[in-house]
């Protein structure tokens, strides 16, 4: 069985397991914006 990270996080959260927030960034600008949101 192949379980991708985002699916694992969904599964854990659905079962009341705390999952840290995270965002994906492809550029430095996106990384800066993501850091501001976190």
Give the pLDDT band (50/70/90) at residue 1.
confident
Alpha-carbon span 19 to 10, nearest angstrom:
9
How does DSSP assign 6-25, residue by residue?
A: HHHHHHHHHTT---------
14-33 per-position pLDDT tens digit: 999 999 988 899 999 999 99
Instruction: State the total domains in the chain.
Output: 1
The residue behind tokens 């659905």 is: 14
Evaluated on CA atoms 8, 9, 10, 11, the torsion sign reads positive
Range of the domain at 33: 5-37
Give the pLDDT band (50/70/90) at residue 2.
very high
Task: Report the pLDDT value the prediction gives residue 22, as an integer from 0 to 100.
Answer: 87
Contact criterion met (CB below 8 Å) for 26 and 34: no
Q: pTM score > 0.95 for this model?
A: no
């Amino acid at each position: 069985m192949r379980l991708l990270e985002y699916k694992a996080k969904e599964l854990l959260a659905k079962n009341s397991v705390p999952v840290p927030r995270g965002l994906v960034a492809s550029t430095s600008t996106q990384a800066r914006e993501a850091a501001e949101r976190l």
